[in-house]
């Protein structure tokens, strides 16, 4: 039997359970697909019975490659491969946001340790160094001076080559919070402020931050729509900071966004809106 929708996962979190529950309430034919048990014969032309796939894999590589395979086999995946590639990489996203006129922090990229240290002498400290691919605030460090920069970079030199892409960002002066806005199609369905935990500067919920509802203004929605469209997204989480000097700036667009805390704090039924969106979405 063919499904209306499939949830593709590698880890069942609150988000995936909530999607399944929302689907069941609507009486639609929804299936949970464990990506760890999945194999796909890439050259068989048989019709696959997934319906529209909501991509929820946590693993970046599993997420990207399963999307590529399914999409290539003619399956509609939300978000599409293009979004996975573009939003999954902070530098790729940054360039597109700039092109679309979306306000962002100021960034610099250097392609060796030496060039990065030279860049830092020119742009000045402090700067934030980020992996271009990553989440949950991991491996993001504040470089207050040359000693810190040399220490972090020396470690990076011994890691996987992606860590030798030195992606630097101004340390944005802002209140001790950022904004996570969840977009379903062209609408910000809910947004939260995320406050950093004690003694922390990163506001990721995974690092023990606290959340509060954030009112969705027209300005916030306009910026988020542009940011989502810049990466060709459908259901995304836009991360913004409130720069003291420049107002809202977008620092990230999340391809497979978490939304548990946003539902908890705002009471908005995001999973049902995601299901409704996926059901009406076309290839
Ligand atoms: N340039 C910056 N200035 C100040 N704080 C930042 C900056 N960049 C990131 N942060 C903080 O670190 C958190 C994680 O950064 P982010 O770019 O969203 O990476 P991740 O993909 O790991 O969530 C942000 O939510 C914010 O609180
Ligand atoms: Mg983030």
pLDDT at 143 over 70: yes
| Spatial CA neighbour of 19 closest among 282, 214, 269 | 269
What is the reported pLDDT for 127? 98
Global pTM value: 0.96
Q: How many helices (H) and strands (E) are present in the chain, helices listed first?
A: 9, 13
Q: Is the peptide bond before 205 cis (omega within 30 degrees of 0)?
A: no
Q: What is the pLDDT of residues 13-69, one digit of tens each?
A: 999 999 999 999 999 999 999 999 999 999 988 889 999 999 999 999 999 999 999
Distance 178 CA to ligand 2 centre (A): 9
The answer to whether residue 228 scores a pLDDT higher than 60 is yes
Domains of the chain: 5-78 (3.40.50.20), 87-103+173-280 (3.30.470.20), 107-170 (3.30.1490.20)
Q: Which residue has the higher pLDDT, 223 or 208?
A: 223
**Residues near ion ligand 2 (Cβ under 5 Å):** 239, 252
Quick one: which ligand is closest to 236's CA? 2
Out of 241, 242, 245, mutate this one to test ligand 1's pocket (max ligand atoms within 8 Å of CB): namely 241
The pLDDT of residue 283 is above 70: no
Q: What is the DSSP string of 69-92?
A: HHHHTT--EES-HHHHHHHTSHHH
CA distance 182 to 220: 11
- Rounded-to-integer distance, Cα 158 and Cα 113, Å: 12
Question: From the CA of 89, how far away is ligand 1's center (Å)?
Answer: 14
Pick from 88, 137, 180 the residue to mutate for probing ligand 1's pocket: most ligand atoms within 8 Å of its CB.
137
pLDDT at 282 over 80: no
How much distance in Å is there from the Cα of 155 to the middle of ligand 1?
A: 20
Cis status, amide bond into 126, omega within 30 of 0: yes
Distances (CA, A) of 256 to 3, 64, 135, 236: 21, 10, 11, 7
Closest ligand 1 atom, residue 171 Cα: 3
Q: Residues lining ligand 1, CB < 6 A?
A: 105, 128, 130, 134-138, 140, 169-172, 178, 201-204, 239, 251-252
Residue 139 has pLDDT above 60, yes or no: yes
Residue 175 pLDDT > 90: yes
Cα of 79 from ligand 1 centre, angstroms = 22
Q: What SS3 string covers 196-207? A: CCCCCCCCCHHH
Average per-residue pLDDT in the chain?
96
Residue 45 Cα to ligand 2 midpoint, Å, equals 38
């Amino acid at each position: 039997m063919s499904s209306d929708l499939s949830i593709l996962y590698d880890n069942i979190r609150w988000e995936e359970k909530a999607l399944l529950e929302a689907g069941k309430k609507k009486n639609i034919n929804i299936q949970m697909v464990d990506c760890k048990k999945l194999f796909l014969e890439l050259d068989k032309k048989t019709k696959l019975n997934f319906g529209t796939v909501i991509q929820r894999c946590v693993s970046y590589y599993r997420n990207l490659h399963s999307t590529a395979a399914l999409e290539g086999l003619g399956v509609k995946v939300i978000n599409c491969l293009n979004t996975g590639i573009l939003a999954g990489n902070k530098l790729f996203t940054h360039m597109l946001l700039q092109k679309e006129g979306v306000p962002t922090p100021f960034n610099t990229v250097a392609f060796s340790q030496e060039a990065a240290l030279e860049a830092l002498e020119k742009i000045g400290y402090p700067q934030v160094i980020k992996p271009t691919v990553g989440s949950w605030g991991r491996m993001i460090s504040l470089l207050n001076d040359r000693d810190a920069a040399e220490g972090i970079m020396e470690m990076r030199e011994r890691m996987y080559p992606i860590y030798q892409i030195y992606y630097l960002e101004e340390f944005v002066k802002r209140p001790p919070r950022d904004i996570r806005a969840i977009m379903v199609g062209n609408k910000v369905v809910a947004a939260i402020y995320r406050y950093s935990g004690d003694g922390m500067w990163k506001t990721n919920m995974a690092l023990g931050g606290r959340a509060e509802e954030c009112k969705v203004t027209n300005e916030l929605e306009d910026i988020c729509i542009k940011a989502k469209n810049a990466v060709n997204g459908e259901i995304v989480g836009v991360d913004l900071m409130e720069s003291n000097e420049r107002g809202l700036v977008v620092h990230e667009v999340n391809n497979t966004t978490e939304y548990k805390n946003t539902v908890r704090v705002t009471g908005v039924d995001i999973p049902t809106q995601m299901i409704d969106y996926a059901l009406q979405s076309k290839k």
